[in-house]
Structure 1
Amino acid sequence: MSQSPSTWRADPLVWGHGATVFEAFLEPTCPFSVRAFGKLDELLRTAGEDRLTVKIRLQSQPWHLFSGVIVRCVLAASTLEGGKETARKVMAAVAAHREEFEFTDHCSGPNMDATPNEIIARLEGYSGVSLAKAFAIPGLQKTVKWHCKYARQNGIHVSPTFMVDGLIVPAISSGDSVQEWIGKIFA
């Protein structure tokens, strides 16, 4: 999927093909989103790809101070070879090294001196994905804005938030087991 700046395409972060649609609004550095992200593969395996469609929607949050950079990195990864699987690999790298991309108490710590270029390089190192060129695609903000607008249009302001078939389900929590999720999704 190597592309020139004029032919890029962000691969939708969608897995499965079932009639029931489960949308997870996640901020990649949020500890609760990380916990939810870690359950999505098991959810799809357990529920069945023919029964469930899982969609990741990125929910940038300003109190996670590198949120915008990280969200753009994930979406940039989706434009590369492997598309959504490459994006998932980048999200997994953030999840596995969350403290490397977050601020202590959202306002201090070693990342105070980190630049966006250093964060991108750090994420490239952890994920093994070359992100810098895709990060700089001029029109990529259109995809970033789509995720933001979609969340706002659905009344979603924090992560993680979950929707089933277009309706927010506040009873679903990142602390629930996959079996509890399945019970609430197919209730």
Structure 2
Amino acid sequence: MDKIKEIIVVEGKDDTVAINRAVIADTIETNGSAINESVLQQIQHAQDTRGVIVLTDPDFPGQKIRGIITDRVPGCKHAFITKKEGQPKSGRGIGVEHASPAVIRKALKGAQTTNEQAVEEISLQDLFDAGLIGGKGARERREQIGQILKIGFTNGKQLYKRLKMFQITQEKFAEAVTQVKQEEKDA
């Protein structure tokens, strides 16, 4: 079983259990989206000493937690699972706790660091031109792009911000768009 050096930030106890089924790692639990100052200080200390990987649920509260941490603790790595990967067999709920060990390992392996100071390479017009904002199928294409680039599922505005945060180059973006268009053709 792989040992992870960084401390993984998750939402709750069930997420920690799922992480420990997949890898050997320490976690910090935010106890939901009401993340308090004490937890933020723990995350900052963890980032300063060992590094942090944020792995939250692919839903609105998970995005909110990720945003709070990004604003307060720069330089954290981010790992993502898709809604489909976090869905239980019963179909009720969604989250890291329902992801398989293989999915969690894959997400952690693909973790990337954000950088708010990144140079803007991809414009909103590029997103429109690629069919990622507005129009039929844009949501599905954004979901595929998020998986390919390992930046998670987003709405149009969030996609623009994440491409910048994760320093996605024009070249990587174009390759991902080409892959999505090829998959649409093949379908």
Scaled by the length of structure 1, the TM-score of the pair is 0.28
Higher helix fraction (1 or 2): 2
Higher strand fraction (1 or 2): 1
Greater RCO (CA < 8 Å, at least 6 residues apart): 1
Scaled by the length of structure 2, the TM-score of the pair is 0.28
